[in-house]
Structure 1
Amino acid sequence: MALVFNYTNGFHDSSNAIAIAISTRALTPRVALAVAAVMNVVGALLSTGVAVTVAKGIIDTPLGGAGLRVLFASLVGAVLWNVTTWYFGLPSSSSQALIGGMVGAGLAAGIPVYWVSGVVGKVVLPMVLSPVVGFIGAYVVMIAVYWVLRRANPHKVERGFRAAQIVSSASLALGHGLQDAQKSMGVILIALIVAGRHHGDAVPLWVILVCAAAMAAGTYAGGWRIMRTLGRRIFPVRPPHGFVAEATSSIVLYLTTFLIAAPISTTHVITSSVMGVGSTERVSAVRWGVAREIVVAWVMTLPAAAVVAALAYGATNLVA
């Protein structure tokens, strides 16, 4: 079930790294998907800090069958929310869906939830602050790019940034692998521990590899509905905008992964960065109605996934 979640995460969030590169014609769709899939795998192999945070920092999972039912219900909630938001083309957060599922299943099971140190400190605050940093960072960098290149030939600038987007989209896909592949690693790590099959915080290599492979497969399958939203509906992105949004988002992902090991949302960061670069044109250039729909989906993700996971836990108890 963790690998199913990782697969849905891949096709749901593949748009994060490649929608902009495709919309600006920096890459063809299939080449972009292939690059994103490969970089997802590389990112998954570079760090396990976020996996440990997910495994140990959100809920106190009980040992044995009760713990496995909690994890299963958590994943059911996350997968159903991913599929629902994908169907409606909304770039919501798979990370929030998984954390919400874990909290909902944990509450239904009556086990301790680490609200302050875990949910608020490691999840809610980073997830609220990271889009703000992405928006402001992308806005400032875009203004700086405009100023530096104010006398440059527009056609040469477009061509140069279109080529640079190959690097920035690959960088963003690497950041996506660093963040999102690790969340399923964390769930599998807990499952191994509560089943008595593993000890300690080290994530086994086979877990890293299968999670990376599942995400890469989902990424290559593509999330075309969400790509249209991110690439065109929020703001008609051109190559300079795309490069700045992707580069800014990559930096935010790398810093949160390696400095605080916080499970933030790739979707939130890149979406807010697109809004940031779009705002440099003029405020009305961003389609704020679409942005409002996305923010509503963001706010609903944690509680919606929690409710579904709680119901799923009740169903597993009936079966058990």
Structure 2
Amino acid sequence: MEVFLVIVVVALALGFDYTNGFHDAANAIATSVSTRALTPRIALIMAAIMNFVGAMLGTAVAETIATSIIDLQDSENAHGLTVIVCALLGAIGWNLITWWRGLPSSSTHALIGGLVGAGIAASMTVFWSSVYEKVVLPMIFSPLIGFALAFAIMVGLLWLIRNAAPAPTMRRFRLAQTVSASAMALGHGLQDAQKTMGVIFLALLTVGWADPDEGIPLWVKFAAAAAISAGTYSGGWRIMRTLGRKIIEVDPARGFIAESVSATVLYANAYLLHAPVSTTHTVTSAIMGVGATKRLSAVRWGVARNIATAWVLTIPAAAAVAAVCYLVLNPALTWIGRLF
């Protein structure tokens, strides 16, 4: 039974990673595609490659997911694995709903919401202080910092290039966007692929198939990196349209600043705070920040309000789906376990 559940966890985790890839592909490339700095196909290939590279560059965020959200150490192996399965179902379900609606919600918070919801339904210990410090606070401050930094840097840039010829200047920024979009895709892989690694590592720790002192096995890193890259290459056109054009019409200079600021915030959280922040929240707020430098009315605040609503709902909605899955699946899996 344990072997079967571990296989299910790995399959669902990689499936979540794949949906994360096509759900969040827009984060790295939407502005570059909308400004025609990159063609859609080239942008997707670049993002897929950089997602893979980023996924292999660290494990701190993965270890946070595996050890700092819920405590499965005292549960029976099969029970703990059931909780992880239900958490993944909750996260995948919310990802698909928001993808269908074209809303750039957070796969990170969907996964954390799934873990919390399944953990509560199973009467597991939830590390609320860690959730508050490493999830809730970054969820609040990362978008605010992204907005403020993007706005301030864009204002300074506009002053620096105030006398420059518009056409050649925008051509240079269009070229620079190749670098900033690559940096953004690298940060996306560094942050988001690690969450899948963390879930698989949590399952392996639950059944004693991994040693916490030895870290995450190489095959887990490779599988998560490959899954998110494949998902990225499949594209997320619905969300890409929202980020690239529906929030604000982005020019190459603003696209470059938004991507650069977002990548910086992602790297800082991954390497300094070890916090699993939302790539989606960060880049969306940065796009709003650079857009607001035109004038506040240039940002389509109605679309922004819909996105913010999806942000607020993500953790409780994914938690609710995961809790329902647990209440349905746990009795069935317990019954099957008794048969074997």
Q: Distance in 2 between matches of 1:108 and 1:25?
A: 47
Matched residue, 2:298: 285
Matched residue, 1:84: 97
The letter of the residue matching 1:315 is V
Matches within 5 A, 1:1-320: 1-61=12-72, 62-116=75-129, 118-201=130-213, 202-320=215-333
Q: Distance in 2 between matches of 1:177 and 1:198?
A: 23
The alignment covers a number of residue pairs equal to 319
Q: Distance in 2 between matches of 1:30 and 1:83?
A: 23
Structure 1 residue 316, shift from structure 2 partner: 1.6
SS of the residue corresponding to residue 150 of structure 1 reads: coil
Query: How big is the alpha-carbon RMSD for the aligned residues of Structure 1 and Structure 2?
Result: 0.6
Structure 1 residue 161, shift from structure 2 partner: 0.3
Q: Distance in 2 between matches of 1:125 and 1:316?
A: 32
Larger Rg: 2
> Cα deviation per residue 1:207-262 (whole Å; 9 max; x = unaligned)?
00000000000000000000000000000000000000000000000000000100
- Return 244-253 or 189-198, whichever deviates more: 189-198
The letter of the residue matching 1:22 is V
The letter of the residue matching 1:26 is A
Structure 1 residue 200, shift from structure 2 partner: 1.1
Structure 1 residue 7, shift from structure 2 partner: 0.2
Q: Distance in 2 between matches of 1:171 and 1:199?
A: 32
Structure 1 residue 63, shift from structure 2 partner: 4.4
Q: Distance in 1 between matches of 2:76 and 2:144?
A: 38
Q: Distance in 2 between matches of 1:235 and 1:110?
A: 44
SS of the residue corresponding to residue 46 of structure 1 reads: coil
Q: Distance in 1 between matches of 2:266 and 2:76?
A: 33
Matched residue, 2:336: none
- Return 310-319 or 170-179, whichever deviates more: 310-319
Q: Distance in 1 between matches of 2:256 and 2:101?
A: 27
TM-score scaled to structure 1, two decimals? 0.99
Moved over 6 A (4+): none
The letter of the residue matching 2:296 is V
Structure 1 residue 318, shift from structure 2 partner: 2.3
Q: Distance in 1 between matches of 2:207 and 2:68?
A: 18
The letter of the residue matching 1:236 is E
SS of the residue corresponding to residue 72 of structure 1 reads: helix
Q: Distance in 2 between matches of 1:286 and 1:280?
A: 9
Q: Structure 1 residues 63, 194: closer, same or farther in 2, change over 3 A?
A: farther
Name the % identity.
57
> Cα deviation per residue 1:98-131 (whole Å; 9 max; x = unaligned)?
0000000000000100001x21011010111000
Structure 1 residue 319, shift from structure 2 partner: 1.3
SS of the residue corresponding to residue 26 of structure 1 reads: coil
TM-score scaled to structure 2, two decimals? 0.93
**Residue segments in structure 1 that go unaligned for 5+ positions in a row:** none
> Cα deviation per residue 1:6-38 (whole Å; 9 max; x = unaligned)?
000000000000011000000000110000000
